[in-house]
Structure 1
Amino acid sequence: MNPILSMLLGTLFVLPAQAKMQEMDDQQLAGVNGQGIAFSLEGILLDASESSIFINDITNAAGENVPISVHEFYFASTGSNKGSDLQPVNLGRLGNPFKLQFGNGEDLRTLRDDGVFVQTTPDNVAILELTFPERLTGALGQPCIAGFAAAGTNCSSRLGERLDAGIRFDFQVAAGRTDILNLDIVELIMDGSYLRLWGDEARDQLVGEARINLFAKRIDLMSCIPGTANCASQQEQADRTISLSNTYANVALGYGKSQPLLFDVTSDGQFVIELPNPVSRNANGSARSAAERNAIATDFYTNAPRTNVVIGNFRSGNRSSVTGGYNYGRNAIEGVSINYLKATSRDL
């Protein structure tokens, strides 16, 4: 039996406060070699609507503290009506779980936009991988966004395995003034997302690659608190809302065979992530021949996952049941390849 499935059948993690374990006999235990674990999450519910988190020590140009308070943080099953009706949600299931596992680079695959699984990681490398429920091929999948086929129909999560989530930020940017950012997300899933990490001997550092998939039926950004002055009626709330419907993003960071994502820390404690040019030089710094550069470039532009950000419909200041505002329609950035990227943290 596959060791991942052995662990999956042997242990089922149930959050937040329950855990059920099934006894395994010697023959079953003999098939478990520690390659990894698979798990699903049942009965997940977070309701922090009555709590507040305060973030301090962020200063403006004048050196004054600009506190940020976090309110109304929740995630629950779909149909929550922006957090007013919270019910537990199950994330993943036995047939399509989350996984934390070790694998060989030559055995791992990534789903390209054309529906083909390709190898992106180098051969003969042991890789630590955290994966979300997988995206599927053929006719086995579910719509990634209900009623919006353009996002794909190959997600494994069913409608009842998707999140509603929300959070509100209060920014005190000036004395006597508080600015609001209220975020609500409907039917969120991240099928096919993963993080892979391994050690690169030639670079002598930790490297990896990541795929971040986000699918959401609706995302609302509102700049006021419902029920307060000038934010009480449906029209007032709509006037202060930006709505993104049928929205998805596939963000590809790194192509392990020729452009791994590099992680580093500077001498003053800042974090650095970098995507090097895939064809410029070898990992040890030596120059590549023209034939090597051509072969790497052909593989990179053929097989490296692309980044897509698609908003099926973008509205500001209006909804279907109120007047005013503007409908910007569909907005998209598709098929992006990142040839070079370097990002460094900074002290505020």
Structure 2
Amino acid sequence: MANSFTSGQQWSAGLQAQGLRCAALVLGVCLSHGVRADMLALDDDQLAEVQGAGIGFVVDNAMVDGSKATTTITGLTDPSGKSVSIAVRNLYLGATGSNKGATLAPVTIGRLAYPFKLNLYKGSVLTTQLSDGRTVSTLPSDADVLELAFPPLISGSAGQPCISGYAGAGSGCSSRASEKLDLGARFDFTLPSGTTTRTDVLNLNFQELAMDGSYLRFWGSSARSQLVGELRLNLYAKTLDIMSCAAGTTNCSSAAEMAARSVYLTNAYASVALGYGKSQPLLFSVASDGNFNLELPALTSANAADFYANAPRTSLVIDNLNFGGTRPSYGVAPADGSGVNLGRSELSGLSFNYLKVTSHSL
């Protein structure tokens, strides 16, 4: 929970679902050393004013340093029954400017004005912001929806640059520069190769990452007798560095060798939208063999007009995409003639008439 309250400041949280109003609490949190804060009860008049359903929270002074830790995922097999393992190394999360996790510092994500939220609301209350700035209702009005929401997208003068120095991503984020983060990890895939094994490596390093406007929503559909939902995943990154070798190993020690095995994105952002609750919710199910299914049901002529007018779309924009090449500094594309520069790439306004994803045993 956040501890960035001013001395003596109080806030209240109430829970209300399906016509039942729960008792609310007032929590006083003080920053001044030695000051005591007490839990206070609300009277009936104050309780009557509580209309919210859920909690808001801030991730305060967070930092993850996994430079000396390894998590190994085992129990996987290939089609021949041979073992496959995935080792997760060098996992880190911290403030921007970490130099791929080498100089980590804590970061506070979200703030009291724009926190993370865990909500329980009627579908008629929750909305989403489209890429054109419109705010629309996407959910069945009578659904009881559980939502995990990141700090929101906002409009107007209160907005912050979604990617610093790049107007193309817009200024609709609530996260300030100090609330963005560096995030990365290395994945080692140990795979059978003939009579021996081989290890394939994938390094991912995000710099100045924000996920404003992302959310995951669940509710039960009585008509379908199953769990359904909506997913909105927004990613804004100043840079994304993808490298297919382990730094310091053979053929991956010099700057030129590492650059030759890297894909480098600058000013990249994605908005992935799966599910439109009114007519095309995301369906979750598990088969009898333990594999899961995600499905977006086919549209019908009766709901197509509303879907195309109001459903969130999926977009992917990369301001600069490079393969190989050395870079003069952080956030800067490789110099001309260094590596292969594919320039700007964009996929915008994608919607799914039908989609089904099924997991399979290896």
- Match for residue 42 of structure 2 among 26, 50, 59: 26
Deviation at 1:311, TM superposition (A): 1.1
Match of 1:312 in 2: 319
Match of 1:282 in 2: none
Amino acid at match of 1:188: L
Conservation of the 8 A alpha-carbon contact between 2:12 and 2:27: no
Aligned pair in 2 of structure 1 residues 177, 203: CA closer, same or farther (>3 Å)?
closer
Aligned pair in 2 of structure 1 residues 239, 302: CA closer, same or farther (>3 Å)?
same
Conservation of the 8 A alpha-carbon contact between 2:292 and 2:359: yes
Match of 2:91 in 1: 73
How many equivalent residue pairs? 328
Mapping 1:1-348, distance limit 5 Å = 3=13, 10=27, 23-27=39-43, 30=47, 35-173=53-191, 174=193, 175=196, 177-279=198-300, 293-294=301-302, 296-321=303-328, 324-348=338-362
Whole-Å Cα distance in 2 between the matches of residues 96 and 117 of structure 1?
17
Match of 2:5 in 1: none
Whole-Å Cα distance in 2 between the matches of residues 180 and 244 of structure 1?
19
Q: Larger deviation: 167-176 or 263-272? A: 167-176
Aligned pair in 2 of structure 1 residues 337, 149: CA closer, same or farther (>3 Å)?
same
Conservation of the 8 A alpha-carbon contact between 1:7 and 1:38: no
Deviation at 1:95, TM superposition (A): 0.3
Conservation of the 8 A alpha-carbon contact between 2:12 and 2:26: no
Conservation of the 8 A alpha-carbon contact between 2:94 and 2:105: yes
Unpaired stretches in structure 1, ≥5 consecutive residues: 15-19, 280-292
Q: TM-score, normalised by structure 1?
A: 0.87
Q: TM-score, normalised by structure 2?
A: 0.84
Whole-Å Cα distance in 2 between the matches of residues 22 and 335 of structure 1?
51
The alignment-based identity, stated in percent, is: 49
Q: Secondary structure at the match of 2:124?
A: helix
Deviation at 1:231, TM superposition (A): 2.1
Deviation at 1:68, TM superposition (A): 2.1
Q: Secondary structure at the match of 1:145?
A: coil
Aligned-pair Cα RMSD in Å: 2.5
Conservation of the 8 A alpha-carbon contact between 2:264 and 2:321: yes
Conservation of the 8 A alpha-carbon contact between 1:104 and 1:126: yes
Q: Secondary structure at the match of 1:57?
A: strand
Deviation at 1:65, TM superposition (A): 1.7
Higher helix share: 1
Whole-Å Cα distance in 2 between the matches of residues 124 and 89 of structure 1?
39
Whole-Å Cα distance in 2 between the matches of residues 297 and 270 of structure 1?
31
Unpaired stretches in structure 2, ≥5 consecutive residues: 1-10, 16-22, 329-333
Amino acid at match of 2:93: F
Whole-Å Cα distance in 2 between the matches of residues 33 and 107 of structure 1?
11
